[in-house]
């Protein structure tokens, strides 16, 4: 009888990242709400220059790992390449750094941090609505960290109110993604392990954003 594949995280310690190299990862799923979703997703994924990140796509999502600037560059590019005028789309992303269960494997850090995908998407801009939440782990003072981060969105003019379990952002697609990169960078300096969950929507049928 096959042994059950139990996981074991007994050696994990809060405040001690499993990766000692500061690997940042983004796992995302694209959901273009149209009959042609397969073409849109595969086309977007294929257009991303992956020379600066480690990448893996499975049946649920795609993950990029490497330098913070590189994984944001690649993820932002994938989302923008998937944009179609008039196609409602959901882009769901998990941004994470410092998990005690992480490992020093599956990453690309040996490169410079130039944003190799930026030029290809600089002309693509569209309005988005976003819900996001920040989870600073292993900390008792986490609500204060969240407060600082949300108030930066206020200062940038993209804060769109709060709801149960979430804060809303509204603005240009680049402005929202650049803010999330700022959050990762700012929180990564202070917190050993954080997760940011963001769901970004474009071409909403409900309202003119």
Contacts of a copy of itself in 161-180 (CB under 8 A): 161-168
Stretch of residues binding a copy of itself (CB under 8 A), selected from 45-53, 119-127, 150-158, 171-179 = 150-158
Of residues 6-45, those binding a copy of itself (CB under 8 A): 6-10, 12-15, 25, 27, 29, 31-35, 37-38
Closer to a copy of itself by CB, 61 or 185: give it: 61
Closer to a copy of itself by CB, 103 or 119: give it: 103
Closer to a copy of itself by CB, 35 or 110: give it: 35
Give the CA diameter of the chain: 59
Phi/psi zone of residue 7: left (φ > 0), alpha (ψ -120 to 50 degrees), beta?
beta
Q: Give strand ranges (E) for 48-123.
A: 54-57, 62-66, 89-97
Closer to a copy of itself by CB, 33 or 119: give it: 33
112 binds a copy of itself (CB under 8 A): no
Angstrom distance (rounded) from CA 87 to CA 80:
12
List the one residue from 115, 126, 135, 188 that touches a copy of itself (CB under 8 A).
135
List the one residue from 45, 126, 127, 138 that touches a copy of itself (CB under 8 A).
138
Q: Record the tokens describing residue 77, joined without a space.
A: 């590019």
Complete DSSP assignment for 130-180: EEEEEEETT-S-HHHHHHHHHHHHHHTT-EEEEETTEEEEEEEHHHHHHHH
Query: Residue 196 in contact with residue 180, Cβ under 8 Å?
Result: yes
Q: In the complex, what is the shortest distance from the CB of residue 115 to a copy of itself, in angstroms, rounded to a whole number? A: 22
Size of the site for a copy of itself (CB under 8 A): 75
Containing 41, the helix (H) or strand (E) segment is helix 37-47
């Amino acid at each position: 009888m096959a042994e059950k594949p139990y996981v074991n995280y007994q050696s994990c310690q809060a405040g001690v990242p499993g990766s000692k190299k500061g690997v940042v990862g983004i796992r995302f799923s694209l959901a273009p709400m149209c009959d042609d979703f397969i073409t849109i997703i595969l086309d977007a994924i294929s257009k991303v220059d992956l020379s600066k990140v480690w990448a893996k796509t499975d049946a649920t999502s795609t993950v990029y790992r490497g330098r913070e600037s590189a994984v944001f560059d690649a993820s932002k590019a994938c989302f923008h390449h998937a944009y179609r005028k008039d196609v409602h789309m959901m882009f769901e992303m998990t941004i994470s750094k410092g998990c005690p269960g992480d490992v020093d494997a599956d990453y690309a850090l040996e490169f410079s941090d130039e944003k190799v995908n930026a030029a290809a998407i600089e002309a693509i801009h569209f309005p988005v609505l976003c819900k996001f939440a920040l989870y600073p782990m292993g900390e008792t003072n986490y609500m204060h960290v969240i407060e600082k981060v949300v108030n930066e969105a206020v200062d940038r003019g993209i804060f769109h109110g709060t709801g149960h379990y979430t804060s809303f952002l509204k603005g240009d697609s680049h402005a929202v993604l650049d803010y999330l990169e700022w959050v990762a960078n700012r929180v990564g300096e202070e917190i050993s392990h954080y997760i940011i969950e963001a769901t970004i929507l474009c071409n909403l049928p409900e309202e003119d954003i």
